[in-house]
């Protein structure tokens, strides 16, 4: 009997992913072991190359199996470990205080924040000052560059897969409840909550990578919005006091959008493998607008590109 190798390879790949995930859930594979497997991701590329090189030789079957087995191990480890790293990072120890910095802006400032694994709580306060209280489970302090018109905060964890060994961060950041020319936040394996009450932001850019990000702009004003979520959840509470145009990109994740009463909402979606849910009901089509859109004094227009993800508009129970 001739075996269809495409089905064989696909089956081995899926079984490997499932096997690693089940083993991790059962406790047979710990976080340290899963992390070590992830660090071997270059072997997955080598295995794929070897499988292609051996395709027309007598070693084609073992080469093909290796080409799906090794990537399956890496992918299964990623699926199993990401939920552990979002927020707690798989760290056993609690963050300890590593830095307290503060300053003041002389004019509307540009603020940039790039997190490591852990938690970010961003809020606003009266005045022109900012303050960061930072903790890390390994004692690593963030990099801070500040002036009268800018603030840049960066995690000092390693790059790429080395970031998984950077410990757990806990940052509490306070920004002025006033005019901010630009705010950019990149959340990496992080739970971030941005409470922007009172802020008047010219440009807001949010990027999440294996993250959970909540943007509460209900009591803020935002002129321009751009957001990207790569595997994770992005929840946006739209402003109640101004019209807004924005673009959102979702890859393998979930987007929640909540519009305040009185704000007309228009969402145009594109992409593959997308699901649109409005107030708990699945909807077809690429364009949806709220019943009050045409008559609303304030409008929010969002262009959303989704590849293998879900868009939830005004979900039952509200956004996160």
Q: pLDDT by residue (tens digit) across 99-155?
A: 999 999 999 999 999 998 889 999 999 999 999 999 998 899 999 999 999 999 999
Q: Strands 169-176, 129-136: parallel, antiparallel or unpaired by DSSP?
A: antiparallel
Which among 160, 162, 213, 144 has a CA at the least distance from the CA of 185? Answer: 213
User: What's the average model confidence in pLDDT over 2-19?
Assistant: 70
Which of 38-52, 194-208, 262-276 has the largest mean confidence? 194-208
Average confidence score pLDDT of the chain: 85
- Band the pLDDT of 293: cuts 50, 70, 90: very high
Given a cut of 60, whether residue 84 has pLDDT beyond it is: no
Given a cut of 50, whether residue 161 has pLDDT beyond it is: no
Q: pLDDT by residue (tens digit) across 214-225?
A: 999 999 999 999
User: What's the average model confidence in pLDDT over 200-207?
Assistant: 97
Distance CA 305, CA 293 (A): 21
Which among 155, 133, 217, 141 has a CA at the least distance from the CA of 180? Answer: 217
Q: Is there a contact between 156 and 83 (Cβ–Cβ < 8 Å)?
A: no
Phi, psi for residue 90 in degrees, rounded to 5: 70, 10
3-class DSSP state of 44: helix
Residue 243 burial (C-beta neighbours within 10 Å; 0-12, 13-18, 19+): middle
Among 37-51, 102-116, 306-320, the minimum mean pLDDT is found in: 37-51
């Amino acid at each position: 009997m001739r075996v269809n190798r495409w089905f064989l390879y696909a089956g081995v790949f899926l079984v490997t992913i499932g096997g690693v995930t089940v083993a991790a859930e059962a406790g047979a594979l710990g976080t340290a072991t899963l992390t070590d497997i992830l660090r071997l991701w270059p072997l997955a590329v080598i295995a794929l190359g070897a499988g292609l090189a051996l395709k027309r030789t007598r070693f084609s079957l073992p080469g093909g199996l290796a080409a799906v087995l090794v990537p399956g191990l890496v992918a299964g480890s990623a699926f199993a470990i990401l939920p552990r790293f979002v927020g707690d990072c798989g760290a056993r120890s609690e963050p300890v205080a590593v830095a307290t910095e503060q300053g003041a802006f002389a004019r509307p400032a540009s603020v940039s924040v790039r997190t490591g694994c852990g938690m970010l709580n961003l809020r606003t306060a009266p005045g022109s000052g900012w303050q960061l209280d930072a903790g890390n489970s390994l004692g690593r302090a963030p990099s801070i560059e500040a002036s009268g018109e800018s603030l840049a905060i960066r995690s000092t964890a390693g790059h790429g897969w080395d970031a998984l060994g950077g410990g757990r961060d806990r940052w509490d950041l306070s920004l002025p409840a006033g005019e901010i020319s630009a705010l950019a936040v990149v959340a990496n394996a992080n739970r971030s909550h941005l409470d922007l009450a009172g802020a008047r932001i010219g440009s807001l850019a949010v990027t999440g990578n294996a993250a959970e990000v909540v943007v509460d702009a209900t009591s803020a004003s935002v002129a321009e919005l751009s957001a990207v979520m790569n595997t994770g959840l992005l929840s946006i509470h739209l402003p109640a006091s101004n019209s807004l145009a924005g673009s959102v990109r979702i890859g393998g994740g979930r987007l929640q959008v909540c519009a305040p009463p009185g704000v007309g909402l228009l969402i145009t979606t594109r992409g593959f493998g997308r699901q649109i849910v409005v107030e708990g009901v699945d909807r077809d089509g690429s364009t949806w607008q709220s019943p009050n859109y045409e008559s609303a004094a304030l409008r929010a227009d969002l262009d959303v590109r989704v590849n293998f993800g879900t868009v939830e508009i005004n979900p039952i129970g509200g956004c996160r």
